Structure 1
Amino acid sequence: MRSLRLFFTSVMALVALACAGWGLAAQGGRWSVRLDILTHFAPMLLALSLLPAIYGLLFERRGARWLLAGLSGVAIAASALLIAPEYLRPASSPAPEGAPGQIKLIQFNAWERNDRPGESIQWLKAQNPDILVVEEASLIAPALKRAFRGYHVSCGDCSVIILSKARPVTRDVPVPPSADELPPPIAGATFRDNHGEFSVFGTHYAWPIYGGWQQAQGRLIAGLLNRFPKERLILVGDFNSTPWSFSRRREDTLFALERRTRALFSWPAERGPAGMGLPFALLPIDHVYAGPGWRTVRAERGPRLGSDHYPVIVTLAPSS
Structure 2
Amino acid sequence: MGALRLVLIRMAAALALAMVVTGAFAALAAHGGRVSDRLDVAAHFAPIQLWMVLAGAALTLLTPRSRLRAATVGIAAVGAPLALLLVWPELTRAESRAPAGAEADLKLIQFNIWGGRNRDLEGTLDWLYAQDADVVVMQEVKPRVLDAVARRGGYHVTCERRYRCQTVILSRAPPLETGVPDVTRRAHPSSARATLPLPDGSRFTVVGVHYTWPIPAGPQQAQGRELSATLGQFPKERLIVSGDFNSTPWSFSRRREDRDFGLERRTRMLFSWPAARPAGAASPLPFLPIDHVYAGPAWRTVSVERGPRLGSDHYPVVVRLALAP
Match of 1:211 in 2: 217
Match of 2:70 in 1: 66
CA distance in 1, matches of 2:111, 2:11: 46
Aligned partner letter, 1:214: Q
Structure 2: 5+ residue stretches without partners: none
Determine which of 124, 131, 149 is the counterpart of 2:128: 124
CA distance in 1, matches of 2:171, 2:301: 19
CA distance in 1, matches of 2:20, 2:169: 46
Runs ≥4 residues deviating over 4 A: none
SS at match of 2:243: strand
Q: Measure how far apart 1:3 and its partner are.
A: 4.5
Match of 2:318 in 1: 313
Q: Measure how far apart 1:51 and its partner are.
A: 2.2
Per-residue deviation, residues 44-69 of structure 1 (Å, max 9, x unmatched) = 11111122211221222153332221
Q: Measure how far apart 1:201 and its partner are.
A: 0.5
Q: Is the 8 A contact 1:23 1:45 kept in 2?
A: yes
Q: Measure how far apart 1:98 and its partner are.
A: 3.6
Determine which of 178, 184, 206 is the counterpart of 1:200: 206
CA distance in 1, matches of 2:312, 2:265: 23
TM-score, with length taken from structure 2: 0.93
**CA 1:273–1:62 in 2, change beyond 3 Å: closer, same or farther?**
same
SS at match of 1:211: coil
Structure 1: 5+ residue stretches without partners: none
Match of 1:103 in 2: 106
CA distance in 1, matches of 2:292, 2:7: 50
Q: Is the 8 A contact 1:177 1:224 kept in 2?
A: no
Q: Percent identity?
A: 48
Question: How do 1:47-196 residues align onto structure 2 when only pairs under 5 Å count?
Answer: 47-99=51-103, 102-111=105-114, 112-138=116-142, 139-147=144-152, 149-157=153-161, 158-179=165-186, 182-193=187-198, 194=200, 196=202
Deviates more, 1:189-198 or 1:254-263: 189-198
Q: Is the 8 A contact 2:119 2:278 kept in 1?
A: no
Q: Is the 8 A contact 1:95 1:317 kept in 2?
A: no
SS at match of 1:50: helix
SS at match of 1:71: helix
Match of 1:242 in 2: 248
Per-residue deviation, residues 202-236 of structure 1 (Å, max 9, x unmatched) = 00000000221001101111111101000000000
Q: Measure how far apart 1:95 and its partner are.
A: 4.0
Per-residue deviation, residues 107-126 of structure 1 (Å, max 9, x unmatched) = 11011211110110000000
Question: How do 1:262-277 residues align onto structure 2 when only pairs under 5 Å count?
Answer: 262-271=268-277, 276-277=281-282
Q: Is the 8 A contact 2:41 2:217 kept in 1?
A: no
SS at match of 2:85: helix
Q: Measure how far apart 1:177 and its partner are.
A: 2.6
Aligned residue pairs total 315
SS at match of 1:58: coil
Match of 2:234 in 1: 228
- C-alpha root-mean-square deviation of aligned residues, in Å? 1.6
Per-residue deviation, residues 93-151 of structure 1 (Å, max 9, x unmatched) = 3244343x61100011011211110110000000001011111111312102322x132
**CA 1:150–1:14 in 2, change beyond 3 Å: closer, same or farther?**
closer
TM-score, with length taken from structure 1: 0.94
SS at match of 1:254: helix
Aligned partner letter, 2:298: G
